[in-house]
Amino acid sequence: MNLKYKRRYDSLKRSIKSYLLENASLTDEICHLQAELSRSRSQRLYLIERLMFHEGLEKPNSSRSSVTNGKIETTENSGGTKKNKPVVVQKKSNDDKAKSVAIVRKKKSAFPMNLNSILLHSLGEIISVNPNFHNESWIYPVGYVATRIYAHPKDPRKKCVFTCKILNNAGIPQFQIIPDNDLDGVFFGESANTCHMELLNTIQRSPNVKVKIPFEVQGEVFFGLSNQKTQSLLMIDPGFPQCTNFKSFAVPNSKSINNASISFETLQAFLT
């Protein structure tokens, strides 16, 4: 009888030793993957910041397209962008009479598009037949995707890239705010304000926040829907005229961009 239990005991010892080795191997692999993930997040944040900078900022030189002695000369304007004005080229006919030929250069909107504090990746599509996707003051295009930099929900002292999305959930808009590579920390709801409020509440509950921060829920501003360029692009969408409930875009407070609920830099002033 004792020999029987001894064999069982030896078998259990071998199994436990095997599980310990397997667990140690898995732990090492998880640590390695976490290190790789952390490095990838840092690289992605760096690349997003560089992209947002280069998409919107250029060297300030005055520029304009002009014709001098039959040659086209191009200079830059004070804002660093080239104006899409007609360029007049002088051509001589057989009668030595100059003819003006207007050449209009059109510039297509390219994505991602820098909108100051937000990077627009996709404008989406207006669903005009469904009143759930627009109201008197806002239009919520399905497939809208934008990214912005704000405070990390778990550690507000660190920057985090947030992806803002608008999806179609069985005829009801679903708004999502997704922290960088954190699928377990997605904020979603049926309105932009709901998502933004959940994000702000999570930041307020963070152990690193010792004071009450005067947050203001501004979901549409956080998503970038209040940006004039975004609104201009929506107004040329074929579905825009069919939004019967829509009256005009709401005009947010000019100070909202620098509010702690939107600006990472302003939020840091409350945390220091």
- What are 118's strand-pairing partners? 115, 148
What single DSSP character describes residue 7? Answer: H
103 or 49, higher pLDDT: 49
Distance, first Cα to last Cα, the chain = 71
Mean of pLDDT values over 68-86 = 42
d(CA 62, CA 76): 4
Residue 201 per-residue DSSP state: H
The rounded distance, in Å, linking the Cα atoms of 102 and 105 is 10
Instruction: Name the pTM for this structure.
Output: 0.60
119-137: pLDDT as tens digits: 999 999 999 999 999 999 9
Tell me the C-alpha distance between 76 and 63, whole Å: 2
Residue 70's pLDDT is 41
Q: Say if residues 51 and 68 touch (Cβ distance below 8 Å).
A: no
Position 227, amino acid: N
- Note whether 151 and 157 are within 8 A (CB): yes
> CA-to-CA distance for 268 and 271, rounded, in angstroms?
5
Find which of 64-68, 69-73, 127-131 is predicted with most confidence, using mean pLDDT.
127-131
Which one has a higher pLDDT value, 26 or 2?
26
User: What is each CA distance from 191 to 22, 120, 152, 196, in whole angstroms?
Assistant: 46, 19, 21, 9
The amino acid present at 261, given as its one-letter code, is S
Beta bridge partners of 160: 150
pLDDT reported for residue 231 = 92
Mean pLDDT of 68-72: 41
Per-residue model confidence (pLDDT) at position 55: 54
